[in-house]
Amino acid sequence: MSRKEPQKQGRVLMLPIDCIEPSPYQARTVFDEPEIAALAVSILQNGLLQPVSVRRIGLRKYQLVAGERRLRACRLAKLEKIPAILADFDDSESAALGLLENLQRSQLDPFDTARGIKEVIRLWGCTQAEAARRLGLSQPALANKLRLLTLTPEQQDLCTANHLSERHARAVLRLPESRRTPALEKIVRDKLSVRQADKLVDSMLAAPKAPSPCRKTIPMVRDVRFFVNTLQHAVDLMTQKGIAATTSCDKRDGCLEYIVRIPVNSDGQMTPAPPSPAPVAAETAPPDPPETVAADAPLREDFAVQL
């Protein structure tokens, strides 16, 4: 039987429940099982007072458009046939109707709502402004709902599992992504109201960021004499230990070139200086000690630097 049967469109039919498939556009992902069980008891006692809506997708095959909770309750009640309104909807109309039913009839999880709106916009191929008009929402309200999807799946699950409201979730969106989970955990732990959650976020934004323990400020010494003295002191220590290290200093292209030469053997080890000849008893004066540059002394002329 084809879809082209206008005499049956909009009529209430008694359809086998096994012929009705769930809607692939169902926005709700979490269902209250005790609520479904209570509805099943009511249906057994009073019958299904409001038919579900379906569309034909094949021979003796239908797809649910609206009434997911009622369909689940009827299955739980083990009904064989249920009343259904046959409607002629395309994909976009079916998705929009299912979303509208959830928005109007029962409290929908804010993240399910946001995902449903996003899917409807995709199917309609329209702007947020047009979707807001067709769904009966203001454009800022629709945009705020879609912003909830910028939370990570783990953060969304944290909100859903602890029954946080849409306004709780929107409060933490003002924080950088790395600080949202700690804020949500504190909101849950301390059972904060929306107003208290806003104040928590305000305090977190106002608090200065703690400096990283790995970063230390190293003062920059601009006087070149400090570095020259440090190099010269290291050479003096090697000389005192018997290493025949030598230095040379020159200015080139406005830079100070300081060269240290350290004798090493084939293994890369520093070689000591050859022993000095035995002193002759007389007249030779002891050699001058290695010269060092005092930290506060002016540079020698050959150490001058163009600044």
Catalytic residues: 68
Distances from the Cα of 298 to the Cα of 39, 99, 224, 228, 248, angstroms: 95, 83, 11, 11, 18
Torsional class of 143: left (φ above 0), alpha (ψ -120 to 50), beta (otherwise): alpha
- Contact, 85 vs 120, CB < 8 A? no
What's the chain look like in SS3? CCCCCCCCCCCEEEEEHHHEECCCCCCCCCCCHHHHHHHHHHHHHHCCCCCEEEEEEECCEEEEEECHHHHHHHHHCCCCEEEEEECCCCHHHHHHHHHHHHHHHCCCCHHHHHHHHHHHHHHHCCCHHHHHHHHCCCHHHHHHHHHHHHCCHHHHHHHHHCCCCHHHHHHHCCCCHHHHHHHHHHHHHCCCCHHHHHHHHHHHHHCCCCCCCCCCCCCCCCCHHHHHHHHHHHHHHHHHCCECCEEEEEEECCEEEEEEECCECCCCCECECCCCCCCCCCCCCCCCCCCCCCCCCCCCHHHCCCC
| Half-sphere exposure at residue 297, Cβ-oriented, CA atoms within 13 angstroms | 10
Could you give the CA distance from residue 3 to residue 57 in angstroms, rounded to a whole number? 8
